[in-house]
Amino acid sequence: MIKCAIIGLGQIGFSYDYNITNKNIILTHSKSIVNHRKFLLVAAVEKNKTKINRFKKKYSKPVYSSLKELFKYEEIDLVVISTETKKHFFFYKQLIKYKIKLIILEKPITHSIKYSDEILKLSRKNNISTYVNYQRSFEPGFETLRKNFIKGKYGKIEKAIFLYKKDLKENGCHAIDLILFLFGKPNNFSLISKGNKNDVLFKYKTYDIYLLNNSLEEFSIQIITDKFIIIFKDYNDIEIYEKKNLKTKKSKIIKTFSNSNIQFLYNYIYKNLKNKNNNINDNLVLSNYNHKIINKLHNEK
C-alpha cells in the first residue's frame, strides 16, 4: 500500500466530497485515496479547526499541525500539496528534506515562474516523481482521443474551439493543459481580445485553436477536421460526428468520467510505480509551460 498524507484540507483536498455519499462521484484527493485499493490515507496537515473536525469525523484519521509533527509519527510515501498556491513551493522544499519521492501538486504549480522552474529542477535533481493535478490529462477518454489524433484516425485537423468560464489562471489553465496534452506545444500564441475577456489564439503548423472566455459554458470543446466534428461538454461524453452523416445526427461516443476524473491521476501514478517508471516529468513539464503561457499573456514574471 502507498501511504499518503494531504497538506491542506480545502475544497480539492477534502471539502468537495464532504456531503457526497455516492461512491462513483470522486471530487477530492481524500476520497480518491480512500477509494483506491493501492493507496492508504494515513493523515493530513491542517491548522483550521473546522476543517480538522470535519475530516476526522468523515475519515477518522489524525491531523497534524506541521510537517515536522507528521513525520515524527507517520511513515509516508506520497504527499498531496493542496494548500493555497503561494505555499506550494515552501512545502515542496520541505518534503525534499524528508526524502519524499512522490508528490502531487494542485494547479497551478506555484504563484511564480521562478518557483515553478525551481520545482522542475528540484524534481529532476532529487528524482522526485511530481504530478500536477490537471485531471483531464489522466482521464481515459481524453487519452483515447489523443491516441486517435496521433494515429490520424480523424483526418486532418482544421481548427478547434475551447470555451472556458471565469478566470484564465484558475479555469482557463485546465483548457490550456488539455490543448497541450492533445496537440502538443503551439508554434506561437497570443491574446486576441481586449480588456479582461482573455481570448487566446494558439497557432499550429496547419491549424488554429481558439481558447475563448464565455459566461455560458463551464468548459466545452469543438474540434473540426476534414472528416469529423468532435464535441465535448463538461460532465458529458465525447461525441464524434462524421461530416458526411451530420443530417442523421448519429455519433460515436468516447466515454468520459467527469464526476470522478481525479481518481485517474492515482491510477496513472500506480501504473508508473508498477512499471518502475518512477521519475515521470512529462506532466510537470507541460504544467510548467502552461504556467509560462499564462504569465506571458498577462505580462507577469
Domain count, the chain: 2
Specify the CATH number for the domain of residue 125: 3.40.50.720
Same domain, residue pair 144 and 267: no
Helix, strand, or coil (residue 148): helix
258 and 235 Cβ atoms separated by less than 8 Å: yes
Same domain, residue pair 268 and 250: no
| Identity of the residue numbered 263 | Q
Same domain, residue pair 248 and 186: yes
**Domain of 281?**
2-134+263-297
Rounded to two decimals, what is the model's pTM? 0.93
| Identity of the residue numbered 265 | L
Same domain, residue pair 74 and 155: no
**pLDDT tens digits for the chain (301 residues)?**
999 999 999 999 999 999 998 988 999 999 999 999 999 999 999 999 999 999 999 999 999 999 999 999 999 999 999 999 999 999 999 999 999 999 999 999 999 999 999 999 999 999 999 999 999 999 999 999 999 999 999 999 999 999 999 888 888 999 999 999 999 999 999 999 876 678 999 999 999 999 999 888 789 999 999 999 999 998 899 999 998 876 667 789 999 998 888 999 999 999 999 887 765 678 999 999 999 999 998 875 4
Cα 248 to Cα 18, 243, 282, distances in angstroms: 43, 10, 40
Same domain, residue pair 233 and 267: no
214 and 163 Cβ atoms separated by less than 8 Å: yes
Same domain, residue pair 89 and 152: no
122 and 156 Cβ atoms separated by less than 8 Å: no
Same domain, residue pair 44 and 189: no
Same domain, residue pair 130 and 16: yes
75: left (phi over 0), alpha (psi -120 to 50) or beta: beta
Specify the CATH number for the domain of residue 184: 3.30.360.10
Residue 271 phi, psi (nearest 5): -60, -40
For residue 201, give the C-alpha cell.
489564439
Same domain, residue pair 117 and 12: yes
Task: Please state, in angstroms and rounded to a whole number, the distance separating the CA atoms of residues 111 and 81.
Answer: 14
Same domain, residue pair 122 and 146: no
Task: Please state, in angstroms and rounded to a whole number, the distance separating the CA atoms of residues 16 and 31.
Answer: 10
Same domain, residue pair 249 and 275: no
Task: Please state, in angstroms and rounded to a whole number, the distance separating the CA atoms of residues 257 and 248.
Answer: 26
Same domain, residue pair 51 and 191: no
39 and 1 Cβ atoms separated by less than 8 Å: yes
